[in-house]
Chain A
């Protein structure tokens, strides 16, 4: 559960004053994952460091930092990167602002000169990014630019091509273009952040002159949070499902009392319009890949009828799970998580009723429960600011996720119609593609690896750079698996990697998306692994299981696959398994058609 003052809208005074004791308290939490972050500043970074640490610890990440020499964000990367290289960052944050624009056009410069300035500035940053994401192999998080707080040209500063405002806006577009092209470059949008706070709140000239802080103290809290959101996303700590209450959350009034025609939704009133706008925001989240679910105290039939209202932007088909009954909400949230096959820590719960929010927070601390207040007009703002669904980039899988789960519901309906499960599996007409890691899939492979908690034998986390290294290493046998069936393409859903050492393949990574549980796909992956291990001259596969709070599901994974137990810790927290390749197992035939890439 999040420390209160670190929740939007942040108690900035408390965060700044009590940071030492908050830090000490957060460091006590179990299971923190290490992350190495280089702060490369065009201004002071010590305050960002100290506050970002709090947000990261709160997210379960324990950062260690490297700070460039003051203002040496370029030199410490491009000129002499030995210190940075020794630190070997997972993530590098380039904290530059409008104050660091080196090649700003001069007053009355012509267009040709402005283009030269733009190119010179871009070359400088490209050099930084290419070193960070190339040779150093880390994820680069780069600020775009805040707008200049004072403008000698006044309003013309954004009109004239030599105006700094105009120039900075063009640079921001160029930065965005660069980030779309480089999967390891991510933009931290301080253009938005500073606008949201207001430039007068964001930039404090006294703090700049006194302490070389390019962002005010209050602004630093927001900036640190923005940075932490991106780091969180890089480590797969992004939530997946928005669970919504209905009455006075998605429409005004109580459908059970007021009836379909009595609820407030639509353009007739300000209140109705505010519910419309919130539904629209939820729909956009759904379109970008966030799952929607309902958790409401209602008669199910009545609750569903609400979505037949002509002004309801959301329709029943947008929801992956729908729990409307009179049971306690924590119970229903657990059912939602189970139905969708995701952890409670993937849920965000929005309810206008503070008592329900308090109950859920208390009973299910893993669920994110923003204190959205009672004004629906503000709900979207809370979700937006907290950044629960922040992603480093969108991929096709995200866009199709809701469709997969819709397909899952159809599949579930199918199961009931078959005599036995094998018959059902056969009816799915599954097709798989299994192959070694290829560059086109590395992003998805890293993403899946970092967010899969349940069907995950070792729960090791890897950056994109780690994955590249494994894919390129002759020591490794790597496999990805895609699975499609007659209801749709599930995309890339399984990842296996083993290190070949003295005739044994040590399986460091075996995971699968819960979307495709109980499809026998793990057998197809085993068969492919066995085949490739034999080709490489291995005699034995060695499997490892490390228990976490979430992966009990796979405690007997290797037993099911025909491995024999080598050893098991007394408390069951880990086990080792082997498969003798001289006695290969019978290949599984559940998947109709397998293509080996």
Chain B
């Protein structure tokens, strides 16, 4: 599982929220993950950008509803040549 996007995201979430048992799924969102505030959000974004070597454009993340949509967005960036 660590090799999948969700697997890698899970590790990032565990680091950022310092909770080694945190389990996320496609439906997880800011309401279901404790501590997911604007500060944590910046950390998540920067960790994801570094982990996957992608950049998010302005406003791209604001419309996402949950982790599932985040995975799809990362997937689309990884498959389309930059």
Contact = CB atoms under 8 A, between A and B. Distances in A.
Residue among B42, B55, B57, B58 with most chain A CB within 10 A = B42
A321 to B, nearest CB: 44
Interface in A196-237: 206, 209-211, 213, 217
A468 interface: no
Given A47-B42, A211-B42, A17 B58 contact: no
Contacts, number: 35
Interface string B43-82: 1001100100001111000000000000000000000000
Interface of B: 12, 15-18, 39, 42-43, 46-47, 50, 55-58
A46 B46 contact: no
A586 interface: no
A210 B46 CA distance: 12
B58 A21 contact: no
A44 to B, nearest CB: 9
9 contacts: A16-B43, A16-B46, A16-B47, A17-B16, A18-B15, A21-B18, A206-B55, A206-B56, A206-B57
Contacts of A460: none
Q: How large is the interface on A (under 10, 10 to 19, 20 to 34, 35 or more residues)?
A: 10 to 19
B70 to A, nearest CB: 16
Given A206-B55, A209-B58, A210-B58, A217 B15 contact: no
B15 A17 contact: yes
A24 B18 CA distance: 9
A13 interface: yes
Nearest to B41: A211
A535 to B, nearest CB: 58
A20 interface: yes
A213 B45 CA distance: 14
Interface of A: 13, 16-21, 24, 46-47, 50, 206, 209-211, 213, 217
Given A206-B58, A210-B58, A20 B42 contact: no
B15 A21 contact: yes
Contacts of B39: 46-47, 50
Given A209-B58, A210-B58, A211-B42, A13 B50 contact: yes
A452 B55 CA distance: 49
A47 B44 CA distance: 13
Contacts of B15: 17-18, 20-21
Contact of A17 (B42, B47, B55): B47
B25 to A, nearest CB: 21
Contact of A20 (B16, B57, B58): B16
A42 B43 CA distance: 21
A209 B61 CA distance: 13
A216 B50 CA distance: 13
Given A46-B39, A206-B58, A20 B47 contact: no
B18 A20 contact: yes
A576 to B, nearest CB: 44
Contacts of A209: 58
Nearest to B46: A217
A14 to B, nearest CB: 9
